[in-house]
Chains A and B, each alone.
Chain A
Amino acid sequence: MNDVIKLTPPLTDADVEKLVIGDRVEITGVIFTGRDAAHKRLVELLKEEKELPFDLRGQIIYYVGPSPAPPGRPVGAAGPTTSYRMDPYAPLLIEAGLKGMIGKGARSREVIEAMKEYKAVYFAAIGGAGALMARSIKKAEVIAYPELGPEAIRRLEVVNFPVVVVNDVRGNDLYREGVKRYSRVKAA
């Protein structure tokens, strides 16, 4: 496996252009959480040309709804949720300047095209390793939509948060490539 690449948002076009599928990346700095309900609201704001709760440009959104923080911890378990549910919203956010998304599972053709056109990448974190991943989250603060509970938008401070590049700016897809390598099924 390749060496680990260190990244700190905000990311530039140049930062994401050098990433290739399969790259192991560790993110340190600030990332934002958002899943189904928050995405719906962000896209409504963009369509109405209203201000977002945070400046999207160069940022990374982590598709996660953490479990509640027990006393003395910033957050409970915090692994990724399945990304395809954010596909209807993601292209608009990418167009507005979002540079990275962290989740699990495959993205739609439209999202992959938007990543190519506006220079953004999609990272996978390990689904179901929420207890382990929470160790990389040092601080969590709800910055918008507290009424959404687990779906509120949080500002996370992370240190060496481990992810893998699944879709790069060239339209490559690690899921497709990885499965091709290990499949024993003859192509129909």
Chain B
Amino acid sequence: MREIDASRITEAVKELCMKANMHLGGDVLKALEKALDEEESPQGRDILEKLILNAKIAREESIPICQDTGFAVVFVELGQDVHITGSSLAEAINEGVRQGYAEGYLRKSICHPFTRQNTGDNTPAVVHVEIVPGDRVKLIVAPKGGGSENMSRVTMLTPAAGIEGIKEFVVKRVKESGPNPCPPTIVGVGIGGTFEMAALLAKKSLLRELGSKNKDPELQKLEAEWLEAINDLGIGPQGLGGRVTSLAVHIEMMPCHIASLPVAVNIQCHAARHKEIEL
């Protein structure tokens, strides 16, 4: 059994919170540059240029890419041969969020649902733990902004709806979201599992490297087809009209109940932030 002190997890989460919010991933930058090549609308091109410049300023001046530094969503792949000492895993993560959001001058955006009283330190984090073989701990911090999260939905389709029904739901969701989720977006789609698993699959799909292909050839084909349908909507950068509404569609799928066809769409704004480390 390998022992890992909770303080190491706190330190790692703190650093990841700051880095994720200030350093836009190279894959996202590359996708924005590709979008700039494809965009026909002058206004859309101007916006994409500014988003690329914005990422540069954030990195060089160590300020957040976006003022909405998000809900701290933390994915943990915990090796089953690891024993965490000194504190609980949850507390170690929350302490990392607390420190990262304070030291990084990140916005505290978490509040009581009724009173709207801010918790003041951006905790609690949303933590998803998966127990995996081995003695390593992988931590992924994915700050999620409210604007694009608000446009996300879960639905329970009938099995009769089939692939066409799923596509219709996904494209309609992007259409109805219009300018709200800060396009160009990444559209995360979770298919199958149960009600809550579909949503989690959709969120997980957003962690995949932008520009990478789905390992499942059938899903790879659907991702390309649905992206085309979405970009035909003409919503464009910031919803002001244009060719590039979304940078990618990512699908994660698992088997579902014979009675069900759960589908979730988790929309991610262009400030697609996630950083990871393995301890």
Q: Interface of A with B (CB < 8 Å)?
A: 1, 22, 36-37, 64-70, 73, 76-79, 81-82, 84, 104-106, 124, 126-132, 134-135, 148-151, 164, 166, 174-175, 177-185
Contacts and interface: CB of A to CB of B under 8 A. Distances in A.
A150 B109 CA distance: 8
Most buried by A among B40, B118, B181, B241: B241
Contacts of A124: 179, 238, 240
Contacts of A179: 178, 233-236, 239, 241
Given A104-B180, A130-B65, A148-B118, A76 B105 contact: yes
Nearest to A183: B234
Contact of A106 (B150, B179, B232): B179
A145 B218 CA distance: 53
B235 A1 contact: no
A106 to B, nearest CB: 6
B240 A77 contact: no
Contact of B108 (A37, A149, A175, A183): A149
A150 to B, nearest CB: 5
B238 A182 contact: no
B239 A175 contact: yes
How would you classify the secondary structure of chain B's contact residues: helix, strand, loop or mixed?
Answer: loop
A184 B234 contact: yes
Given A65-B107, A128-B271, A175 B43 contact: no
Interface of B: 40-43, 46-47, 50-51, 53-55, 57-58, 61-69, 105-109, 116, 118, 120, 146-147, 150, 178-182, 232-236, 238-243, 269-271
Contact of B67 (A79, A82, A135): A79
B182 A183 contact: no
18 contacts: A64-B67, A69-B105, A76-B63, A79-B66, A82-B180, A105-B239, A124-B179, A127-B238, A128-B269, A130-B54, A132-B54, A134-B63, A177-B241, A178-B41, A179-B234, A179-B241, A181-B241, A182-B243
Contacts of B108: 149-150
Given A76-B67, A105-B239, 14 more contacts: A37-B116, A68-B107, A79-B67, A82-B147, A130-B63, A135-B57, A164-B240, A174-B240, A175-B240, A178-B234, A179-B235, A182-B40, A182-B234, A183-B233
Most buried by B among A81, A149, A164, A180: A149
B105 A70 contact: yes
A185 B50 CA distance: 28
Nearest to B120: A149
B180 A178 contact: no
A64 B147 CA distance: 12
